[in-house]
């Protein structure tokens, strides 16, 4: 991964702006650079573009008054969006990036529309990781406590018009837009080293295409958008050990190579330990019942964004966890919302359920008794779950292990029931310039997406990875295209 002097390289291909990695961030950078008139080339190590983005839910965290929000009757503002994200992504979100991201969000939404990404102007008004409908808008915890006390709630989960996984359609449109804008793509091409001019300017990359070594010269800049490092066990052990052993939310190519190539040239990294981590836990169940820890105790309002209860569970509580629901609640859940639900334990009484789950005697009884007593009054003084989800639970009951489901059966077979990805990466300016260890931009080097550290504090909300990856990817592409050829 060591940088290679330009003088030692026989150039095979030339362009103005070279983008490394064709996920959402790479597509955004490539499009903008090409639209600005630059000669753009995108390298993708896989046999087709799309990356992890194409396999994702496709949520884009956008707001401030988008067309979809207005059509659904919500009067959102950039300030409310900022206040929500500052709280939900925090503590210690990057306020400079976050401010730009919120202020530019309506324009960013229109950019997706102009690229042909379809958004249905309708709201999926139920808890969920991913709607089973093709609705264009969903809640991502804005209407749950404490966030509903911090900012005026508006749903900001925007998603392309398709049920469940919408990342495919998102990337299909972006890939087509990049091609239309005139950018070329080299597939099966894995960048391994940055090429550096005598004056320290990044001037291209050396890559491997099957067994061939191929050298690229970039006259204006290189944009690294090759993903995070969840697939590299050594980097995880060194920087984000909390993800070791869990499943990987990745297409398998998140090996940190972009971060390592840049670091080998003296680039600074930032918050390498921050991660997203999720349990399978089905929010339709969790909302209607309760989520308890291995001592039968609730630990969060169950109507919060599921990424948040997952994060709290995995990082802050020893497992196991249980989703407890009663028959009335269970029967209420639509068939389509039932994925991943495998009740392992059923019982007529809570005392029987306690025994079956191996909980301390009286522990879950006490939790349910307290919950029910307040639910009668439509209150939850402990965790402030919204009154619409509060109802005394009556037998028969079932307990569902929220660790069962797609992560447990994931390709790594780790079976912890949790999976995640990395949020730390290269330290960048708001224009995607990669900073060196003294904080100065490295000439000619840009990064976006999970190769960079983005808007995130110590938390995560769905849609903010595709969101900040594309938003700052676009800025990086424009900044790279605007550099004078060969300037320092």
Q: Does 220 bind a second copy (CB under 8 A)?
A: no
Q: Does 437 bind a second copy (CB under 8 A)?
A: yes
Q: Which is nearer to a second copy, 165 or 374 (CB)?
A: 374
Q: Which is nearer to a second copy, 112 or 321 (CB)?
A: 321
Q: Which is nearer to a second copy, 48 or 360 (CB)?
A: 360
User: Considering the complex, what minimum distance in angstroms separates the CB of residue 456 from a second copy?
Assistant: 11
For a second copy, which residue of 315, 349, 351, 378 counts as binding (CB under 8 A)? 315
Stretch that binds a second copy, among 67-75, 188-196, 233-241, 303-311 (CB under 8 A): 233-241
Q: Can you tell me the distance from the alpha carbon of 481 to that of 472, in angstroms, rounded to the nearest whole number?
A: 14
User: Considering the complex, what minimum distance in angstroms separates the CB of residue 90 from a second copy?
Assistant: 9
User: How many CA atoms within 13 Å lie on the side-chain side of 311?
Assistant: 17
For a second copy, which residue of 114, 198, 211, 381 counts as binding (CB under 8 A)? 381
User: How far is C-alpha 178 from the geometric centre of its chain's CA atoms?
Assistant: 22
Q: Does 358 bind a second copy (CB under 8 A)?
A: no
- The reply to whether omega before 71 is within 30° of 0 (cis) is no
Stretch that binds a second copy, among 58-66, 108-116, 160-168, 238-246 (CB under 8 A): 238-246
Q: Which is nearer to a second copy, 186 or 456 (CB)?
A: 456
Q: Does 469 bind a second copy (CB under 8 A)?
A: no
Q: Does 246 bind a second copy (CB under 8 A)?
A: no
For a second copy, which residue of 11, 180, 199, 316 counts as binding (CB under 8 A)? 316
Q: Can you tell me the distance from the alpha carbon of 270 to that of 426, in angstroms, rounded to the nearest whole number?
A: 6
Q: Does 260 bind a second copy (CB under 8 A)?
A: yes
Q: Can you tell me the distance from the alpha carbon of 125 to that of 144, in angstroms, rounded to the nearest whole number?
A: 13
For a second copy, which residue of 96, 361, 486, 488 counts as binding (CB under 8 A)? 361
User: Considering the complex, what minimum distance in angstroms separates the CB of residue 140 from a second copy?
Assistant: 21
Stretch that binds a second copy, among 59-67, 207-215, 231-239, 344-352 (CB under 8 A): 231-239
- Interaction residues for a second copy, span 86-125 (CB under 8 A): 91-92
Q: Does 458 bind a second copy (CB under 8 A)?
A: yes
Stretch that binds a second copy, among 107-115, 182-190, 256-264, 326-334 (CB under 8 A): 256-264
For a second copy, which residue of 382, 386, 395, 431 counts as binding (CB under 8 A)? 382
Stretch that binds a second copy, among 31-39, 201-209, 232-240, 393-401 (CB under 8 A): 232-240
x/- track of binding to a second copy for residues 147-166 (CB under 8 A): --------------------
For a second copy, which residue of 11, 244, 351, 409 counts as binding (CB under 8 A)? 244
Q: Which is nearer to a second copy, 72 or 242 (CB)?
A: 242
x/- track of binding to a second copy for residues 261-290 (CB under 8 A): --xx-x-x-xxxxx----------------
User: Considering the complex, what minimum distance in angstroms separates the CB of residue 236 from a second copy?
Assistant: 9
Q: Which is nearer to a second copy, 67 or 270 (CB)?
A: 270
**Residues paired with residue 123 on neighbouring β-strands, in sequence order:** 137
Cα→Cα distances 349→1, 288, 300, 419, Å: 60, 18, 23, 33
Q: Which is nearer to a second copy, 11 or 437 (CB)?
A: 437
Q: Which is nearer to a second copy, 68 or 206 (CB)?
A: 206
SS3 per-residue string spanning the chain? CCCEEHHHCCCCEEEEEEEECCCHHHHHHHHHHHHCCCCEEEECCCCCCCHHHHCCCCCEECCCCCHHHHHCCCCCCHHHHHHHHHHHCCCCCCHHHHHHHHHCHHHHHHHHHHCCCCCCCCEECCCCCCCCCCCCEECCCCCCCCHHHHCCCCCCEECCCCCCCCHHHHHHHHHHHHHHCCCEEECCEEEEEEEECCCCCEEEEEEEECCEEEEEEEEEEEEECCCCCCCCHHHHHHHCHHHCCCEECCCCCCCCHHHHHHHCCCECEECCCCEEEEECCCHHHHHHCEEECCCCCECCCCCCCHHHHHHHHHHHCCCCCEEEEEHHHHHHCCHHHCCCCCEEEEECCHHHHHHHHCCCCCHHHHHHHHHHHHHCCCCCCCCCCCHHHCCCCCCCEEEECCCCCCCCCCCCCCCCCEEEEECCEECECCCCEEEECCCCEEEEEEECHHHECCCCCCCCCCCHHHHHHHHHHHHHHHHHHHCCCCCC
Give the binding site for a second copy (CB under 8 A): 1-2, 91-92, 237-239, 241-242, 244, 260, 263-264, 266, 268, 270-274, 295, 297, 315-317, 360-363, 366, 370, 381-382, 427, 437-438, 457-458
């Amino acid at each position: 991964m060591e940088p290679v002097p330009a003088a030692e390289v026989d150039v095979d291909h030339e362009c103005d702006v070279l983008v490394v990695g064709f996920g959402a961030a790479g597509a955004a950078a490539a499009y903008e650079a090409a639209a600005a008139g630059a000669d753009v080339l995108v390298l993708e190590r896989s046999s087709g573009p799309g990356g992890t983005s194409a396999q994702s839910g496709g949520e884009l965290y956008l707001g401030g008054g988008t067309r979809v929000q207005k059509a659904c009757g919500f009067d959102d503002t950039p300030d409310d969006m900022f206040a929500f994200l500052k709280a939900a992504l925090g503590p210690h979100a990057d306020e400079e990036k976050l401010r730009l991201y919120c202020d530019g969000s309506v324009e960013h939404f229109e950019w997706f529309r102009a690229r042909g990404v379809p958004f249905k102007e309708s709201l999926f008004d139920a808890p969920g990781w991913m709607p089973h409908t093709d609705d264009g808008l969903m809640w991502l915890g804005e209407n749950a406590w404490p966030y509903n006390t911090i900012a005026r709630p508006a749903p900001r989960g925007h998603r392309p018009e398709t049920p469940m996984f919408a990342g495919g359609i998102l990337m299909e449109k972006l890939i087509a837009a990049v091609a239309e804008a005139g950018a070329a793509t080299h597939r099966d091409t894995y960048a391994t080293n940055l090429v550096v001019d005598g004056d320290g300017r990044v001037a291209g990359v050396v890559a491997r295409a099957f067994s061939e070594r191929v050298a690229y010269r970039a006259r204006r800049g290189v944009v690294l958008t090759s993903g995070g490092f969840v697939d590299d066990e050594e980097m995880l052990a060194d920087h984000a050990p909390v993800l070791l052993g869990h499943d990987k939310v990745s297409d398998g190519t998140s090996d940190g190579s972009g971060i390592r190539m840049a670091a080998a040239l003296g680039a600074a990294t930032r918050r390498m330990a921050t991660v997203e981590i999720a349990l399978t836990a089905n929010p339709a169940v969790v909302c209607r019942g309760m989520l308890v820890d291995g001592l039968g105790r609730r630990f969060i309002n169950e109507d919060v964004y599921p990424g948040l209860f997952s994060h709290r569970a995995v990082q802050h509580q020893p497992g196991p966890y249980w989703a407890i629901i009663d028959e009335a609640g269970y029967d209420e859940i639509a068939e389509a919302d039932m994925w991943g639900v495998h009740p392992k334990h059923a019982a007529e009484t809570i005392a029987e359920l306690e025994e079956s789950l191996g909980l301390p005697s009286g522990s879950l009884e006490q939790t349910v008794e307290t919950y029910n007593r307040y639910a009668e009054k439509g209150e939850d003084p402990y965790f402030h779950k919204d009154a619409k989800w509060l109802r005394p639970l009556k037998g028969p009951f079932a307990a569902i292990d929220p660790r069962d489901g797609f992560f447990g059966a994931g390709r790594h077979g780790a079976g912890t029931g949790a999976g995640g990805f990395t949020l730390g990466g290269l330290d960048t300016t708001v224009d995607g310039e990669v900073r060196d260890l003294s904080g100065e931009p490295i000439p000619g080097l840009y990064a976006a997406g999970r190769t960079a550290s983005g808007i995130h504090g110590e938390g995560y909300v769905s849609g903010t990875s595709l969101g900040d990856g594309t938003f700052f990817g676009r800025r990086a592409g424009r900044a790279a295209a605007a550099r004078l050829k060969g300037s320092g």
